Every structure is written in C-alpha cells, then in structure tokens.
C-alpha cells in the first residue's frame, strides 16, 4: 500500500511575531523502511497592501477599517498608514512616505485631496501644480521600489446643494488624479465618482447613519463612523477589483465583523534581548522590537515586569508600546544621550536637543499625529503622555508634573 502523507506546516498569521516560518523536519517511510525527507510545500505569498492618505482613509475616521474587513487574511495583509490632517505635500515633508516605502508593499493605495484644499498654509496645494507634482512623485517612487501604486480619487465630502445632490469641492483634485493615473499608466479607483453616486442615492438624511459626529453633536460631512467605513470601504474594494484585477481574489465577498479581524501581533522585548534588570542598557533591544513590529506590519510591543534602562526610543505608527504591571522604563539622564535626536514636530523637520531631566521614572509617549514620536526626558513636547495607574495622563515636559 502506498502512503500519501500530507506535509504539516506551521502557518503563522501574516506579520506575526518575527514573521519567520518554521518548518518541522518531515520524513516519509519508504517501501523498504528508508527515511526519505519529504518536500516542504512553500507557503503562499501574502500580498502586502499599504494605505496612504489622510483622515478619510484612517481606520478611526475613514474607509480604511471597512476596507480591512474585506481583506482575506489568507491572501493579503493590509497596513493603514493614513494620518489625519495630512495633504499630499505634508505627508511627503514629514517623511511618512519614506517610512511607507520601507515596508516594501506589493501595492500602495494613495488618496489625498481634502487637506490639499485651500486654507492650510504649508499644507494646501493647487490641483494643477503642487498636487499633481506630489502625485507623480508617489507614483514614480513606488514604481522605483518595485511596487504597484494605485491612485484613489478623494472620498467626496457630503456637501448637498438645494437640489438635494452632492456638489463636490474636491472635483478639481479628482480630475487631476485621473489625469496623472492616465499619464503614468497606473490604476485608479474613482472613489470620488462612486461616493457621489452613492450619496446622491442615499440623500442627505440617508447619509447621516454613516457619518461621524462633530463635537457639536452634528453629522460630520467629511468623516465616517464604523458603518460608514464599511460601506465606503466596500466601494474601494469594488473599484480595486476592476482597476487591479490581480487583487480580485484577495477580498471576501462580505465584510467580517470588526471584532473578528486578526488580532494584533505581539512582540516581546525579551525576545529581542531586553533584560530589564535595571543595569543593562536595553535601548537597542527595545528599539529592535519596535522596528521589527513596524516592518512586520504593526502590532503590540510588550514590555514585561522589570526595570529597563533606555536612551531615546523612536516609536512607529501602528505599533503600540504596552507595559505590563511592574514594568518601568528608566530614561537616561545624560544630556549627551539625547543631543541631536531628530524629531518631527507638527510637520516641521527640526533637530531637538533634549535638556537633562531625570532620571525619568514614567513612560513618556507622544501622539502619533505629531510625526516621529520619541521617548526620552523631553520628547515631543506637543503631546506628551505618561502611563500611570489609571491609564494615560498628560504631563508637563518642563517640570514632569501631571
């Protein structure tokens, strides 16, 4: 009797842990009792899709989360690097695009326009000049990196006229994006047209259940809530299946519940060599865990109980730093350790020299929207947080008082 054993694999979630795939030695017992090594079946390539854009693409306020709910995790991985308040220009200036390219995605889905509109000095762009130039740069640099860029015309603002129809102020930007896609021979998903058609069909009141709510309690005509993200994320999926047929099989027919999305990958700092004994310098180990998390597609970097001596640490978006009970980061109080640390603050490239505070006994985190966050005695002063009993608390960087 001939045996046909099925090779066993250890399939890891895309981006999970170190992203390594371990294959156990496999043997087949031959006819004469010989141990013959079995051929290991290579794991299928998981397509990496990176979303680049503003708050209307972000998970919390745009279509990004809804898009993720349609991605088949067995075939593709979606990383959302959209950042609120960014234009095609400021996203480049803040080096966020450089970071995105570092993820070596197969596909980059790029949508800008809302913050390119007039009214934001240093951020806004003219459709036919700065906006066009920025889009061409995204396309050319993605191609040069061996990736496929896909342009997404901006989600419409839900601006209804007296006739009950959408009158989009973003039309000039959408037009330029279509022109760039045609000239550069890259796919384009016309979300602007598709979202206008859907909103016109729903009507002004029909759009309310899918809209975020402003601080005044009124429907937000720009941002989306979770149902809205799923609805409009579905439009992106449908458009992408037409514009980039190679991706068609990477999506589910129906969105999964948000609660059923793949859990975040966990990166233990101990696995990267962190000792937490209060003596060794754990800067490199913890930074390696943060960098590994970033290149793996995001997740949680876990710091277990201990005392970790550190210098400056650079955080990444999509990578949460989690401290267990009893875990303490002790930042160096040596001024030289922080001299010349580069930080991006509110879109400006500047070198910040950190004053000698310390030793620091609480963790200092900066909000991701201010660029490259830094943990250190001063950090990014625009938005500081300390992890203390009861959760996150704002702290004064000058006095370290809460």
Whether 21 has a pLDDT exceeding 50, the answer reads: no
Token pair in block for residue 105: 């995605």
**What residues have CB less than 8 Å from 10, skipping those under 6 apart?**
21, 22, 23, 24
What's the confidence (pLDDT) of residue 19?
40
Residue from 157, 64, 46, 59 nearest 110 by CA = 64
pLDDT for residue 35 is more than 70: no
For 274-285, what is each residue's pLDDT tens digit?
Answer: 999 989 999 999
Asked if residue 59 lies in contact with residue 88, where contact means CB atoms within 8 angstroms, the answer is no
Task: For 264-318, give the DSSP string.
Answer: PEEEEGGGGT---EEEEE-HHHHHHHHHHHHHTT-EEEEE-SEEEEE--EE--TT
Q: Is residue 100 within 8 Å of 137, Cβ to Cβ?
A: no
- Nearest CA to 206 among 263, 158, 152, 151? 158
> pLDDT per residue over 336-383, tens digit each?
565 544 443 333 333 333 333 332 323 333 333 333 344 443 333 333
pLDDT: which is higher, 98 or 352: 98
Whether the predicted pLDDT of 393 surpasses 50: no
> Phi first, then psi: what are they for 194, rounded to 5°?
-65, -40
Domain ranges of the chain: 1-43, 47-260, 265-393
Scan for tokens 């608390």, then name that residue: 393
d(CA 167, CA 360): 53
How far is the C-alpha of 84 from the C-alpha of 57, rounded, in Å?
9
Is the model's pLDDT at 50 over the cut of 90?
yes
Contact predicate 308/301, CB 8 Å: no
Report the chain's mean pLDDT, rounded to a whole number: 78
pLDDT digits (tens, 9 = 90+) for 194-238: 999 999 999 999 999 999 999 999 999 999 999 999 999 999 999
Query: What spatial distance separates the first Cα and last Cα of the chain, rounded to whole Å?
Result: 75
- Do the beta carbons of residue 298 and residue 270 sit within 8 Å? no
pLDDT tens sequence across 238-247: 999 999 999 9
Q: Where does the pLDDT of residue 165 fall: very low under 50, low under 70, confident under 90, or very high at 90 and above?
A: very high
The topology under which CATH files domain 47-260 is Rossmann fold (3.40.50)
């Amino acid at each position: 009797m001939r045996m046909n054993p099925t090779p066993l694999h250890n399939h890891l979630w895309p981006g999970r842990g170190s992203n390594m795939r371990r294959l156990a030695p496999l043997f087949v017992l031959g006819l004469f009792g010989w141990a013959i090594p079995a051929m290991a079946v290579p794991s299928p390539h998981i397509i990496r899709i990176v979303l680049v854009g503003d708050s209307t693409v972000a998970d919390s306020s745009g279509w990004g989360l809804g898009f993720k709910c349609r991605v088949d995790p067995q075939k593709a991985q979606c990383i959302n690097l959209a950042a609120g308040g960014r234009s095609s220009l400021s996203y480049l200036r803040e080096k966020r695009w450089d970071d995105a390219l570092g993820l070596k995605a197969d596909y980059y889905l790029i949508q800008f326009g809302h913050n390119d509109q007039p009214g934001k000095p240093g951020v806004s762009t003219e459709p036919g000049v700065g906006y066009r130039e920025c889009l061409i740069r995204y396309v050319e640099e993605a191609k040069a990196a061996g990736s496929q860029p896909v342009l997404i015309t901006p989600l419409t603002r839900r601006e209804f006229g007296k006739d009950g129809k959408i009158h989009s102020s973003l039309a000039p930007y959408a037009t330029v994006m279509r022109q760039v896609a045609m000239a550069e021979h890259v796919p384009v998903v016309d979300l602007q047209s598709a979202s206008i058609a859907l909103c016109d069909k729903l009507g002004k009141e029909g759009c309310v259940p899918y809209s975020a709510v402003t601080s005044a309690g009124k429907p937000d005509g720009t941002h989306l809530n979770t149902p809205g993200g799923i609805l409009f994320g579905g439009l992106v999926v449908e458009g992408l299946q037409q514009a980039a047929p190679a991706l068609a099989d990477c999506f589910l027919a129906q969105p999964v519940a948000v609660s059923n999305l793949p859990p975040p990958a966990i990166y233990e700092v101990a696995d990267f060599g962190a000792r937490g004994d209060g003596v060794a310098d754990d800067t490199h180990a913890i930074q390696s865990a943060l960098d590994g998390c970033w290149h793996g597609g995001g997740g949680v970097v876990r710091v277990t109980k201990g005392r970790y001596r550190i210098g400056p640490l650079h955080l990444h978006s999509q990578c949460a730093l989690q401290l267990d009970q009893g875990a303490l980061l002790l930042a160096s109080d040596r001024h030289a350790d922080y001299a010349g640390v580069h930080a991006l603050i509110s879109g400006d490239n500047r070198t910040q020299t950190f004053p000698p505070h310390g030793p620091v006994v609480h963790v200092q985190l900066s909000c991701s929207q201010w660029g490259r966050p830094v943990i250190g005695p001063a950090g990014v002063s625009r938005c500081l947080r300390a992890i203390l009993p009861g959760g996150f608390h704002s702290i004064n960087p000058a006095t370290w008082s809460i």
